[in-house]
Amino acid sequence: MFKQSRLKSILFNKCPRCHQGQFFVSNNPYQLKVFDKMNARCSHCGESFEREVGFYYGAMYVSYGLAVAIGVGLFLLMVVLLSMDVLAYLIVYTISIILLSPLLFRKARLVWINLFVGFRPNFSSKK
C-alpha cells in the first residue's frame, strides 16, 4: 500500500509518476548550493518535472501551510502543554522555520507535483 502512495514520493524525493527516479539532484536538503536544483526529467520513466512556466508558484501555498502547521503544533506543545512563555515560543518557532526552510521548500514542491501527477508504475515517456 505504502509502495503506491504519494507519500513515498514526497518523503523519499522520488518521481511522482514511477517512484523510481530522483526528483531533486541531491537527496540532502542542507547541501545549500544545490538544495533547489531539480532534475529536468525522471531518469527512470522520463516524466518531465518542469511542467510549465510558473507551475511551482502553487508550492508556495503548500509551504505556507506546512509552516503554519509547524507553528500550531509547536504552540500547542510549548505554550499549551508545557506552559512556556510566548516569547520563547516565538524565538524557537522563528529559528525552526529558518533551519527548516530548505526542507519545507523541497517538500512543498513534491506535495504540489504529487497533486497533479499520479503514480503509474509502468509509465514511460522515453522513446
- What's the CA gap between 109 and 118, in Å, rounded? 15
Shortest Cβ 45–Zn ion spacing (Å): 3
Residue 18 in the binding site for Zn ion (CB under 5 A):
yes
Radius of gyration over every alpha carbon of the chain, rounded to an integer in angstroms: 17
Give the x/- contact pattern for Zn ion in 45-74, rule: CB under 5 A.
x-x---------------------------
CA terminus-to-terminus distance, the chain: 30
CB 45 within 8 A of CB 38: no
**17 binds Zn ion, rule: CB under 5 A:** yes
What is the contact surface with Zn ion in residues (CB under 5 A)? Answer: 15, 17-18, 21, 42, 44-45, 47
